[in-house]
Structure 1
Amino acid sequence: MPNSLVPPAGPQRVLALAQLTNSVGDGAFYVTSALYFTHVVGLDPARVGLGLTLAWGVGSLAGVPLGRLADRRGPRGTAVLLALATGLAVASFLVVRGFVPFVVAACAYATAQSGLAAARQALLAGLVSAGERTGLLAHLQATLNAGLAVGAGLGGLALQAGTRTAYLGVFALDAASFVVCAGLLLRLPAVAHARVERAERLGVLRDRPYAVVTLLNTVLLLRMPLLSLGIPLWITERTDAPAWLVAALFVLNTGAVMAFQVRTARGITGLATATRAVRWSGWVMLAACAVFALSAGVSSWVAVTVLVIGAVLQVVAEMGQSAGSWQLSFELAPADRVGEYQGFFGTGVTVARTAGPLVLTTLLVGWGTAGWLLLGAVTLAASYAMGPAARVAAGRMQRDVRPLPVRVR
């Protein structure tokens, strides 16, 4: 079934199983880590936030060189080693008892995670044909959401228990999940490493058209902290909707991605369809922002209805933007430097997660309705700019392709 959570047998299914395995561990980690570091380790919440910001900043810088390592040394072996390194970093949290060790462990975790993401993308590109990549990424995104949901449930049990042993069990589960992930990745066929010339070592950093595409995608990714921070703050600070709606909207988002992400990505097969999907998602996101703004100043149940409608529009925009950006990130990257380029493209996620909380808090809580409309307008502008930027990047790729010299005897 093309809309199934389960991709076709072979490398695609193994990649999905590896994704599912570590996403279960990550889901449990995400819902318990903040309370573990503050209540069990005893760190100040502000220092935890500072440490994680520093860690993800380091991780974003490491994505490009680790992606290049995957290109040069082979993505499968690099992905396996980085999965093991991530598991080791998570396990190190079990013995962290102070701020400096916490920052060191968090930097190791963020670096390994960023490199693993780039290496996995390079591995996927080497195992799956260009026409199948976006569809497989949609499967992996649905699998990711399913695993996170299961893991969040397990983390909830640990939160309910509230004991140090329960928290440690969650961290041990997450560490073990990356070891299992590494074992699954090792079952995949080896992919030949690329032969990149020394002069091209910083190629992605000099590729300005691709950098513009990455920057525009980063703007579109400001929707990532919307569900975890922006909407919860909006609901509690600006509306009369009940607090439990935060959890309900999270479940709605996760379930929708699991059910419809594959179907959304099915028609995206090239540059034109990808930019069209991104542009369409910009309009839907603008509509979502306008609807969210209407939830202020109305009765509780009217606010609930409006917020649910806004959340539906938001997840529709999210799925379209995700599918379109996946296609662009691969199609605009040189075939011999996919890991390097994916590492660079992935920095947009880190930047959005780092800057997003400040931006969304200022716009939504501080500016209210005007902030929602500005967020929607900026998203729409970035989505429209993506088309010309992608065409310039594609044109540069074509100019950079030179025929092999003919040796005359």
Structure 2
Amino acid sequence: MSRFAPPAGPPRALALAQLINSLGDGAFYACSALFFTRIVGLSATRVGIALTVGWAIGMLAGVPLGHLADRFGPRRVAVLLAGTTAATLGAFLVVRSFPLFLLVVCGYAGCQGGLTSARQALLAGLVAPGERTRVRAYLQSTLNAGLAVGAGLGGLALYVDSPPAYLAVFAMDAASFLVAAAVLRRLPEVPPAPVGRAGEPRLAVLRDRPFALLTLLNAIMYLNMPLLSLVLPLWIVTHTDAPKPMAAALLLVNMLSVVLFQVRLARRVTDLRTAARVSARAGALMLAACAVYAGSSGHLGPWAAVAVLLLAAAIQVAGEMMQGAAAWELGFTLAPADKQGQYQGFFGMAPQIARMLGPAVLTTLLISWGTPGWFVLGGLFLGAGLAVGPVTRYAERTRATAQPVTAAT
């Protein structure tokens, strides 16, 4: 069980809250598109516009709401945001006009962005620095397991295909946030950060250049997410002889691998130096995965195409797990102890940027350019992974320079 359950105490409670939420979210993600179009009655174009605007607001909300978690205590803010997220999900059950739908989507995404920041700050405050990356790996494993099971529940609603079934899924997701809030409420509170000195910027992360560079590099590495969920299915249909259901099989391979091996791979990352080395290896693995994916095109026949795609997916998920562990270590270690909320909110923008820009970038590279595009993408992955080391050393130098000033003050 030590491979799947974190140590007793706050880490296990955080994992339990994560599992409860991911069960509801997995069902939500499976059904949301049809719910919005068939139950709410909106066009696909309007749903797309609302979701794009909403997730952009959610991305930007992470820093200020993370700052509130630092200022008033991450547990208190996390519980509040979990409750407000449940309220927005409840609003989806009754909203039937586009303006109100857009407003609720923005509220839901903003609460989700802030909740992620507050939870990360709570983890940083309750877990010893040397254990944070390992505990975060447990949470990622739990997240994937919950999403997989939740997606199965959502699949049942899709099979029934009736308004009560979709409404039940949304009600279940709202209830999951309330239960998660109750779990988080039982955790000890992390003392709020002291009020900053006169002249000190409230959102100091916005002036931290090396941290911003690391976030940008992380966003490039996170292009593996829209690659797997959106572009690979298109690639399989348009450029390979593999059967269409292979896209779902690759997603299943990815999720199960994270559940089984993420914690084990995270043990290799213990400090900033190992995080930089593992990032470079992750970039190399992602380049290798891109090269293998490129080899799946052409007239290989169904079985050969399936074998090549499975090999590429295995290499990709290994690089993804390494990159995740390295990113968690960098994000936690380089954030000041009294500003974990705002720093985690800023660092959390990386996957959101990848989700927003990834579809356009990846479809151009891979679907329009074909095989050469895979090597361009692999070069981006390798370059970002190798650049993490120099940027991390740059960040360390800036913090070493600032330390004597802080001590003197």
Q: TM-score range by the shorter chain?
A: over 0.9
User: C-alpha separation between the residues in 2 aligned to 1:112 and 1:394?
Assistant: 32
User: C-alpha separation between the residues in 1 aligned to 2:95 and 2:361?
Assistant: 31
CA RMSD, 1 decimal:
1.1
Q: Is the contact between residue 290 and residue 376 of structure 1 (CA under 8 Å) also seen in structure 2?
A: yes
User: C-alpha separation between the residues in 2 aligned to 1:396 and 1:85?
Assistant: 38
Percent identical pairs in the alignment equals 57
Counterpart of 1:216 in structure 2 is 217
Cα distance, 1:177 vs structure 2: 0.2
Counterpart of 1:124 in structure 2 is 123
Where do residues 26-37 of structure 1 align in structure 2 (5 Å cutoff)? 26-37=25-36
Structure 2 unaligned blocks of 5 or more = none
Are 2:263 and 1:289 equivalent residues in the alignment?
A: no
Per-residue deviation, residues 240-273 of structure 1 (Å, max 9, x unmatched): 1101111111111110000000000012110011
Where do residues 377-392 of structure 1 align in structure 2 (5 Å cutoff)? 377-392=379-394
Cα distance, 1:200 vs structure 2: 2.3
Counterpart of 1:238 in structure 2 is 239
Per-residue deviation, residues 320-365 of structure 1 (Å, max 9, x unmatched): 0000000000111111100010001111111111111111111111
Cα distance, 1:405 vs structure 2: 4.6
Counterpart of 1:252 in structure 2 is 253
Counterpart of 1:323 in structure 2 is 325
Q: Is the contact between residue 96 and residue 102 of structure 1 (CA under 8 Å) also seen in structure 2?
A: yes
User: C-alpha separation between the residues in 2 aligned to 1:248 and 1:267?
Assistant: 28
User: C-alpha separation between the residues in 1 aligned to 2:60 and 2:362?
Assistant: 24
Where do residues 6-405 of structure 1 align in structure 2 (5 Å cutoff)? 6-197=5-196, 199-297=200-298, 298-402=300-404, 404-405=407-408
User: C-alpha separation between the residues in 2 aligned to 1:234 and 1:181?
Assistant: 38
Q: Is the contact between residue 75 and residue 190 of structure 2 (CA under 8 Å) also seen in structure 1?
A: yes
Letter of the structure 2 residue corresponding to residue 321 of structure 1? Q
SS at 1:83's partner residue? helix
User: C-alpha separation between the residues in 2 aligned to 1:201 and 1:34?
Assistant: 38
User: C-alpha separation between the residues in 2 aligned to 1:336 and 1:200?
Assistant: 13
Q: Is the contact between residue 90 and residue 175 of structure 1 (CA under 8 Å) also seen in structure 2?
A: yes
Letter of the structure 1 residue corresponding to residue 222 of structure 2? L
For normalisation by structure 2, the TM-score amounts to 0.97
User: C-alpha separation between the residues in 1 aligned to 2:231 and 2:128?
Assistant: 38
Letter of the structure 2 residue corresponding to residue 307 of structure 1? L
Letter of the structure 1 residue corresponding to residue 371 of structure 2? T
Structure 1 unaligned blocks of 5 or more = none
Cα distance, 1:97 vs structure 2: 0.7
Per-residue deviation, residues 83-110 of structure 1 (Å, max 9, x unmatched): 1111111111111212211111110011
Give the count of matched residue pairs: 405
User: C-alpha separation between the residues in 2 aligned to 1:167 and 1:239?
Assistant: 35
User: C-alpha separation between the residues in 2 aligned to 1:57 and 1:290?
Assistant: 32
The runs of at least 4 aligned residues of structure 1 exceeding 4 Å deviation read: none
Letter of the structure 1 residue corresponding to residue 6 of structure 2? P
Cα distance, 1:118 vs structure 2: 0.4
Cα distance, 1:202 vs structure 2: 2.5
User: C-alpha separation between the residues in 2 aligned to 1:287 and 1:200?
Assistant: 43
User: C-alpha separation between the residues in 2 aligned to 1:51 and 1:237?
Assistant: 29
Q: Is the contact between residue 196 and residue 336 of structure 1 (CA under 8 Å) also seen in structure 2?
A: no
Per-residue deviation, residues 280-326 of structure 1 (Å, max 9, x unmatched): 01000000001001111121111111000000011001000000000
User: C-alpha separation between the residues in 1 aligned to 2:306 and 2:45?
Assistant: 32
Cα distance, 1:195 vs structure 2: 1.3
Cα distance, 1:68 vs structure 2: 0.4
User: C-alpha separation between the residues in 1 aligned to 2:327 and 2:304?
Assistant: 34
Q: Is the contact between residue 281 and residue 317 of structure 1 (CA under 8 Å) also seen in structure 2?
A: yes
Per-residue deviation, residues 126-160 of structure 1 (Å, max 9, x unmatched): 00000000000000000001100110010000000
Moved more, 156-165 or 395-404: 395-404
SS at 2:311's partner residue? helix
Cα distance, 1:398 vs structure 2: 1.7
User: C-alpha separation between the residues in 1 aligned to 2:248 and 2:109?
Assistant: 26
User: C-alpha separation between the residues in 2 aligned to 1:236 and 1:91?
Assistant: 37
Letter of the structure 1 residue corresponding to residue 260 of structure 2? A
User: C-alpha separation between the residues in 1 aligned to 2:301 and 2:277?
Assistant: 38
SS at 1:64's partner residue? helix
User: C-alpha separation between the residues in 2 aligned to 1:228 and 1:90?
Assistant: 24
User: C-alpha separation between the residues in 2 aligned to 1:324 and 1:6?
Assistant: 21
